Each structure stands twice: as C-alpha cells, then as structure tokens.
Amino acid sequence: MLDPNVVVHVDEAAAAPGAPREVRGAANWARGAVAYSRGARFVRPALVDGSVGAVLAPQGKLSRVLRFTFRNGKIAEVDIIGDAARLGELDLGVLEG
C-alpha cells in the first residue's frame, strides 16, 4: 500500500510538539503512526479535493485531513493538514459504507 520511499508532510497545526514536519520512508512513518493509532476509530475514508484521503473527526469535529498522492498503485506522498484555515478550504466528501 505504501511506497517504500513515501514522503509525509505534516503542517504545524497537525504536528505534535517536537515531532518532525516531514517523514521519509514507509518504515519510519509506520513507526510513528503506531503512536496515533488510538485515534483510528475516528478516521473515515474521504475524497479530498477529488482525491483519495481520510478525515479524522473525533465527536464529529474535523481535526485532521490526510490527502494521498499515488504513484504506481502505492501511496507515494501524504499531506497531513490540521490548520483550521486550510481545513476550511478543502472540498471534502466522507465515504461511508
């Protein structure tokens, strides 16, 4: 699913204090993602500006959007957006089912 050389960009509002704003490599991102796994129950697949992504909305309040870029059938880039102004500019469609 992930390109081994995936690049993950995290905006300042989405990053934990002291966490890197860019992560390179599937193994590195997977290690970091484990720390955030407790919030996974609030994640839903979505269309983000017409592309595949995911939204994180605990108790119905949007807090993060992940926008994926695919190359050769694998996720090559991920943008993690948490800035309220940027979130408000996105065209989102949550996919149910």
What does the pLDDT look like over 42-94, one tens digit per residue? 899 999 999 999 999 998 899 999 999 999 999 999 999 999 999 999 999 98
With 80 as the cut, is the pLDDT of residue 36 above it? no
Position 29 scores a pLDDT of 85
pLDDT at 19: 83
Band of pLDDT at residue 96, cut at 50, 70 and 90: confident
Q: Which CATH number goes with the domain that contains 11?
A: 3.10.450
Answer yes or no: pTM beyond 0.85. Answer: yes
What per-residue confidence (pLDDT) applies to 33? 73
Number of domains comprising the chain: 1
Domain region containing 35: 2-94
Residue 97: the pLDDT is 59
3-class SS string, 64-76: EEEEEEEECCEEE
